[in-house]
Structures are given as structure tokens and as C-alpha cells.
Amino acid sequence: MPNANEDNSSALTQVQHRAVSELLRVSPVADDLARRFRAAGFHLALVGGSVRDALLGRLGNDLDFTTDARPEDVLKIVRPWADAVWEVGIAFGTVGCQKDGYLVEVTTYRSEAYDRTSRKPQVSYGDSIEEDLVRRDFSVNAMAVALPEKEFIDPHGGRDDLTAKVLRTPGTPENSFSDDPLRMLRAARFAAQLDFEVAPEVVAAMTAMSERIEIVSAERVRDEFNKLLLSAHPAKGLSLLVDTGLAAHVLPELPALRLESDEHHRHKDVYEHSLIVLQQAIDLEENGPDVVLRLAALLHDIGKPRTRRFEKDGRVSFHHHEVVGAKMTKKRMTALKYSNDMIKDVSKLVELHLRFHGYGTGEWTDSAVRRYVRDAGPLLDRLHKLTRSDCTTRNKRKAAALSRAYDGLEERIAQLEEQEQLDSIRPDLDGNQIMEVLGIRPGPEIGKAYKFLLELRLENGPMEHEAAVAALKEWWTGQS
């Protein structure tokens, strides 16, 4: 039976084989670029996440390089070589370009640090790759491969940490997080992306320094949080944020859920329920990770702490928590600088997530089904997934009944859709026809008439033109 050292050696051998295979794949582009840098008197190395992913056998077409050349020299080298060049990151020492289907970023050796009042990193350039690697966030991202000779550079034991699936910092975590507090959030993101454990000393530093995250801009926090949420194991990263206290500064509504028991006492708290709903929503995704669906699943119950009531019969109620939660979602996402469209979509899903429960016995009228579809609009497919995910009961009979009921609702939607084009419900008369029938000019009365006809359409389904005209005239008579 092989001993632990033999197991570790075998794992490293597999890692090395994967890395060689990946590096051979990108060699034509990487080596060509490296030779151009050498001819200009500079060094070039594949670095960071690109080396990590090569060792994991998952290197994509995004290649990160580091160099001793300053940005203006990098531009001189890549402009004649690349298919396209962009300078959006040049203030931070990064030049981007595209070559033969690869997205390439070349960054000058650098170091970054925050002062106590700044939200933006101060950039200074270094002169050695060792200086550059020690400033990286984690040892698994502090490896490099010098090109074109392909010399492996790993001064901080990143390969061993990769094999052990652990996240450590090249230096002390306190110094690393002081330089850039966003790295604390990044630790949770990489734990979620890679399914790695975070070293105890790193967790301790995250806990002790969690309030430092507040000096980081909302946009950077949002982008890092999105990467975490869109990862393969988001619950792992979210739990780390909550346990270290970071969530209290970036998404305080999440740890607040830990204090609440849901109305059926099926889970330890609403926080655990929300993580299960998130995972169940992920399991229903059909076209890759969906940040809108995942945000809605995570936040759907954040209104519960504010609406919890203990009833006289011993039950716990959360009346209108979906309405309160939608407002809280809008406020938090606005603070994190999400786009208006995304804020609107996620808060709408939170607001609608309980609507189906009025259908529980399958007694909705066609009118109610039409309104359900109309209110969901383009979010209907996501609402289907969110509603199904929100069933976390351990009672298999009850879960099966809820699933059948929702199957029934979807079938009725499909039937009505075939008959009535539910996704584009409009009144049977348009604005011009309304003006013609009533003999009036544009004005607020047109909007009122349109709303009346829309309600009539939702209630009764499509009407013949003559019937719609007669109903409109009868309504108009009652307005005078």
C-alpha cells in the first residue's frame, strides 16, 4: 500500500503532466511573445491564475503575463504583434491585447497598497519577479513560468498548496489584507471556485480585519461577490463570509437570516434554508450560471427578520416578507452599484416568489394565471425555477404535491399561451382605436381607457372587436 509521501509524489506528477500539456497548447502564442520581449531586452513569464489553471488542467484562452518592461515598452512590443490592443488597465501597469483567439494581459512587475483613507490601490513598479510574486494574493496564484525556456518559479510553495487544496498567502495574511482588503473577499471566492479550504491563519486574519473591507469601492466588492456567487460552490464562500464577519459589512442582510427560524421549523434557520434554495436553483440552471436567479434565490427571504411575528397559537409568521424583501433587495443592490435592470429583475423575483402558494390547491382561474404571467413578464422562466427551488421540506409527500401543483400551473400557462399569446398580453384595442371609438384627442383619458381594457383582457381573455368596442363605450359612459 503506498504511503503518504508516495501519494503526494503521484499527485505532483499528475499536476506536472497537466501543466506540461496545457503549456504546450499555448506555446505558439506565448513563446512568440516571449521571444519578442527578449529581443527588446526584457523578461516575460506566464503568471498567477494562468499557471494555477495550467497545473489544474483547466487553462483557458485568457493568458496573464508579467514583465520587467514598463507599460510604454509593452505597448511598443505588442502593437506590431497583436490583432488588437487596449489600454484600459494601463494606469495599473496592465496592457491588454488579442492574438489568434487568445486574450492576453501583460502587467509590469508591481506592488499595490492601500492607505487608511483610500479606496484605490497605489501602484508602484518593481524590478524582479520575486517582488511581483510576493505581492500576489495567495500562494497558488504566486507561481510563474519564465518563457520561452519554461522555468517554473514557485518561491512560496504554491504547487504544494494546490495539491493540498488550501489557500495561504505568500507573506503574512495581515500584511496581504492590509495591502488590499479585497483579498479577504477573494479568499472566499477562490474557496467557492476551486473548492479549496482556507488556512486557519488566513481565516483568523479575515475575521480580525473584516471591517477593512469598507475602504474598498462598492464596484470592486460587487464584482468579486458576483464571481463568488457564479462559482461552482457558492455556499462554501458565502459561509466563510458570514463566519468571518465580512458579510456583515458587504451584505448584512445575509447573516441577519441566521437569527430567524422559518415558519415551519424545517431548518435550523432561514439562512440555511436560503443556501439550500440557492443550490436547488443552481441545479435547475439550463444555460450556465445565472447571476439574476442566484441573487434572487439567496435574497428571497431577507424580509423575514423585519416581519417575524410570534402568533398566539405558537406559530411564527412573516406576513408580507416578500414585499419588504423586495425593497431591501433594491436598497442593498443599489448600494453595491448593480445595474438598474438587474436591480429591477432581482427585486421583482423576490416580490413574486410567494405568488404561487396561492395556487396550492390548483383552483386559480384563467384570469389569475394570466396575471401571474403578465406580472412575471420576461422573468417567468426564472420565477418557475425560483418557486420550485423554494420547496425545501423534508416531507417527501408534501414536496411531491407541491411539485405536481406547479407542474399543473405550468401546463395551464402553456395551454393559455398557445391560445392567447400570454407573453404579450395587450388590450383588444390600441391607443389609436380608443381615440377613434371615443372621439377624443391624446390625453390622460387614453391611459385610463387602456388600463380598463387591459384589466378586461386579463379577466376574460381575448374579446371580439365589436365586444371590446361595446365594453369601452359602456365604460366611457360611466366616466361622465
CA distance 154 to 173: 18
8 A C-beta contact, residue 305 and residue 259: yes
DSSP letter at 124 equals E
**Cα–Cα separations (whole angstroms), residue 210 to 144, 205, 240, 355:** 30, 8, 12, 38
Q: Tell me the mean pLDDT per 10 residues along the chain, length 480.
A: 46 65 83 95 94 89 95 96 93 93 94 58 80 92 91 93 95 91 96 96 98 94 97 96 97 86 54 94 94 97 87 78 94 97 97 80 73 86 92 77 79 71 64 79 81 75 78 77
| Non-local CB neighbours of 273 within 8 Å, separated by 6+ positions | 262, 266, 267, 301, 392
Question: What is 55-119 written as a DSSP string?
Answer: HTT---SEEEEEESS-HHHHHHHHTTT-SEEE-TTGGGTEEEEEETTEEEEEEESEEEE--TT-S
Q: Structural domains in the chain?
A: 4-164 (3.30.460.10), 165-250 (1.10.110.30), 276-424 (no CATH), 431-479 (no CATH)
Predicted pLDDT of residue 472? 75
**Beta strands at 122-125 and 144-147: parallel, antiparallel or unpaired:** unpaired
**316 phi, psi to nearest 5 deg:** -110, 130
Instruction: Dump pLDDT digits (tens) for 50-81.
Output: 999 988 888 889 999 999 999 999 999 999 99
CA distance 120 to 114: 7
Gyration radius of the chain over CA positions: 29
Beta strands in 292-380 (DSSP E): 309-310, 316-317
CA distance 434 to 450: 8
CA distance 293 to 381: 10
Cβ count within 10 A of residue 93: 21
Helix (H) or strand (E) holding 44: strand 44-47
> How would you write 424-443 as a 3-class SS string?
HCCCCCCHHHHHHHHCCCCC
Beta strands in 132-280 (DSSP E): 144-147, 151-153, 166-167, 197-198
Beta bridge partners of 107: 66, 94
Sheet hosting strand 84-86, strand order edge to edge: 84-86, 94-99, 102-108, 62-67, 44-47, 144-147, 151-153
Question: What is 447-480 written as a DSSP string?
Answer: HHHHHHHHHHHHHH----HHHHHHHHHHHHHHH-
Region of residue 461 (phi > 0: left; psi between -120 and 50: alpha; otherwise: beta): left
Report H helices in 195-269.
Answer: 200-208, 218-229, 234-244, 247-250, 253-256
